[in-house]
Amino acid sequence: MPPRLALCLALVATGSSVALANLSVSNYASIQEALDRNPGRMVFVPAGDHVVTAAIRLRHDRSGLWGPGRIVAANPAEAIVVIESRHEVQLLDLTLTRPEGKQETHRPGIFVNRSREVTIGNVRLLDNRGDLASIYLRSSLDVRIRDCLVENYSRISVDDRRRRPDVPNFDVVGGYAFRCISGNGIGVRACGRVSLQGNRIIERIMIPTPELKATHQLGSFVHRDAQKGTGLSQQAWDAGYNNAWHQGSAIVLANVGTDPLVQTNPFVPREEDPVDGPGIDENFQVIGNYIENAPQGMDIHVDHVVVANNIVVNAFMGMKAVHGARNVAIIGNQFSRSSLWGILLMPGTTSREAQPAADGRAARPANIDGHTIVANNIVSDFGYGDARWMWQNNETAPLHFNANGFDPNMPPLRQVIVNGNVVHDAGRDGILIAGRPRVEPPRYRYAVRINAGQGGPRDLLFADNLFSPGTEGVSNVPLTGEARQ
């Protein structure tokens, strides 16, 4: 039974019309007053615009908001709804938005922190154009986000990669800050048992065009340390330019060790974003979501994840699993019009083998990448996305299995089954140009690229795939049986 129907039936059974009237925000001076005076109850938000100038805070367990109303947040310095240290809280059927001229923000639309058994269902979150995440979960367990629309979640910002002693491994990639597009649709950090199902995450404004790049000088450095970090090429350092200025993801699942949501965001002070919850970083379901015009469709840094039946259209990268992403089942997804990679698997800066206690530091468990299945996915129309002009290089590939690239001591990607996938090159079927069909060569060299050698992937098993060859073949290494380093 749908939650709101169950709620209505319960109200009818208890004397109902009076109870429903009393639980409507229309009877109070503000939505916040209605919540505070009805602890542990669901409060109805009727149709129409409800303007707020401060974040709405759900301060009681088993409370929530529901209804067809539209909550308009007029203060971009505040989140729209905050759920902190609460249990069994719900947001259902609402529209949350910001008015014209106040849509750019550094705060989330919905912020869930140190909470449990939270449900966000059929909520429309529009024009929270920020560089954090429109829906941001931190240090929480048992959260469900289902059937929601997140639209226009990105903005012009700064990616701050200067060295800082509070950020592990930042000397690897650090040393500079640059102008970028940034923002995530749904961001999850240090959480567990999270389900993201049936959501639509669409960006319609921050599309990576040459005109947008020129207007905002995207990629240009705004700061440079005295010394370059090892993760940036000397050529980029000398030029004062980073081509990776289209930042963010429609969905990002970040572990405790990695922090793409805030560690490179100079507008969120570190002391405001502590990881002070369970931080178990495992058991996630990302199922049946529709993603369009994202920088990265899905960015996975956690363990025991099902990524299934999603559709990602026109993201420069369909998805990646990195930074110690283990036991990920990537099954039955569609990735169309990717420009750099359709699916990327590789280690990252926080990948490590198990480490014993030493020098006063506690023992640390392994944080490795792999033991993963990539099955029955379709990568189509590769190279036909809006970001193709940014990524016309030799490394583009529908499927990419990469070496660690940062530190030769990092554990490699290992034990991946690649089975029953299709890479379809649309150019071979003929595309319309000036109203006439014309066969075009593939827009990739290889359907599969494996960066072998030191730190390269190990124990990759390929079977029963159909890969349209690139201009130089199916793969840069043989794919028969097991491909070992």
Q: Concatenated DSSP letters for 317-351?
A: EEEEE-SS-BSEEEES-EEES-SSEEEEE---TT-
- Of residues 30 and 255, which shows the higher confidence score? 30
Q: 3-state DSSP helix/strand/coil percent for the chain, to nearest 5?
A: 10, 40, 50
Rounded to the nearest 5 degrees, what angle is found at the Cα of 357, between the Cα atoms of 189 and 168? 40
Confidence of residue 404 (pLDDT cuts 50, 70, 90): confident
pTM metric for this prediction: 0.91
DSSP 220: B
Instruction: Tally Cβ neighbours within 10 Å of residue 85.
Output: 13
Strand partners, 317: 296, 341
- Of residues 454 and 313, which shows the higher confidence score? 313
Query: pLDDT tens-digit profile of 107-130?
Result: 999 999 999 999 999 999 999 999
Which helix H or strand E contains 10, and what residues bound it?
Answer: helix 3-13
Task: Give first-to-last CA distance, the chain, whole Å.
Answer: 53
Position 485 pLDDT exceeds 50: no
The whole-number average pLDDT for the span 299-307 is 96
Dihedral, CA of residue 346, residue 348, residue 354 and residue 356, to nearest 10: 160
- Of residues 5 and 92, which shows the higher confidence score? 92
Residue 413: which of 454, 353, 455 has the closest Cα? 455
How many whole angstroms from its chain centre is CA 245?
16
The beta strands (E) that lie in 129-206 are given as 129-130, 133-138, 141-146, 149-151, 155-161, 176-182, 184-189, 192-197, 200-202
Query: pLDDT tens-digit profile of 204-224?
Result: 999 999 999 999 999 999 999
Query: pLDDT tens-digit profile of 147-161?
Result: 999 999 999 999 888
Whether the CB-CB separation of 310 and 290 falls below 8 Å is answered with yes
- Of residues 265 and 30, which shows the higher confidence score? 30
% of residues, the chain, pLDDT over 90: 68
Q: What is the reported pLDDT for 84? A: 95
DSSP 429: G
Whether the CB-CB separation of 367 and 324 falls below 8 Å is answered with yes
Which helix H or strand E contains 18, and what residues bound it?
Answer: helix 17-22
Both tokens assigned to 11: 């109200």
Domains delineated in the chain: 49-483 (2.160.20)
Both tokens assigned to 305: 């994840």
Residues 6+ apart with CB under 8 A from 436: none
- Of residues 12 and 470, which shows the higher confidence score? 470
Most confident of the ranges 56-65, 164-173, 470-479: 56-65
The mean pLDDT of the chain is 88
Residue 120 phi, psi dihedral angles, 5° rounding = -120, 110
Query: pLDDT tens-digit profile of 17-49?
Result: 444 555 999 999 999 999 999 999 999 999 999
Q: What is the reported pLDDT for 28? A: 96
Q: What is the reported pLDDT for 266? A: 67
CA distances (Å), origin 354, targets 169, 253, 366, 405: 17, 22, 4, 20
Which helix H or strand E contains 105, and what residues bound it?
Answer: strand 104-105
**Cα(439)–Cα(325) distance, integer angstroms:** 39
Local structure of 219: helix, strand or coil = coil
Query: pLDDT tens-digit profile of 36-93?
Result: 999 999 999 999 999 999 999 999 999 999 999 999 999 999 999 999 999 999 999 9
**Cα(61)–Cα(136) distance, integer angstroms:** 19
Q: What is the reported pLDDT for 18? A: 45
Whether the CB-CB separation of 73 and 98 falls below 8 Å is answered with yes
How many whole angstroms from its chain centre is CA 354?
27
